[in-house]
Structure 1
Amino acid sequence: MSGLKPLARIHRPPRSAMQSGRANTHEWVLEYAPSEGVRLDPLTGWPGSGDTRNQLSLRFPTREAAVAYAQTRGISFEVETPPAPKPIQPKVYADNFRTNRGENWTH
């Protein structure tokens, strides 16, 4: 790097598509932005980069801890605030067999 401050993004990771609850979504993550572009390896043709910071992901229990870490190390950062969580609607199997269903059967 040529004297530039590394840029980082502090955010809360979204829950995975295979996850219905909110477990493991309470921590904050600091990820570095890439400092150089991806280039193709001339021998294999695989994409690669000399920047190893994109492999680094630091996890913190709170937003304040992540911000304090970045500030003490002179890392310029931007914080992405997560959207408000939607309430989880409990589903009842017996609702599939109600007589006053609003939608038609699909099977």
Structure 2
Amino acid sequence: MKARIYCPSKSVTQSGSRGSDKWVLEYEPAGQKAVETLMGWTGTKDALQQVKLSFPSQDEAEAYAKRKGIDYDVKPQQSRRVRFQAYADNFK
């Protein structure tokens, strides 16, 4: 059972940064998805793929994983490059 801990980026469709300060622990898939023969649906028997736990900080997410004995990988938080541009700069 392996998990990854990361800080999700802000939503592309919104200008705000709501929810981008939380850290998420989610389990990596244990097996491949299979196509169900009768209906043709894609599914898996791994219920942990549906679990996403959120934490206020990276340290708390790591502490949880250590306490539960979960192997984990931490993906560093990516910084956002903000570029200020005036509307008039489009016509230079």
Same fold (TM over 0.5): yes
Number of residue pairs matched by the alignment = 91
| Structure index of larger Rg | 1
Deviations 1:15-69 (A, max 9, x none): 1111223221000000000111100101111110000111000000000000000
* Structure 2: stretches of 5+ with no match in the other structure: none
Q: What is the TM-score normalised by the length of structure 1?
A: 0.77
- The share of aligned pairs that are identical, in percent, is 33
Counterpart of 2:44 (choices 17, 25, 49) is 49
- Say what the alpha-carbon RMSD is for the aligned residues: 1.6
The 4+ residue runs of structure 1 with deviation greater than 3 A are none
- Alignment gaps of 5+ in structure 1: 1-5, 103-107
Deviation at 1:88, TM superposition (A): 5.4
State the distance in 2 between where 1:83 and 1:26 align.
12
Bigger relative contact order (CA 8 A; separation at least 6): 2
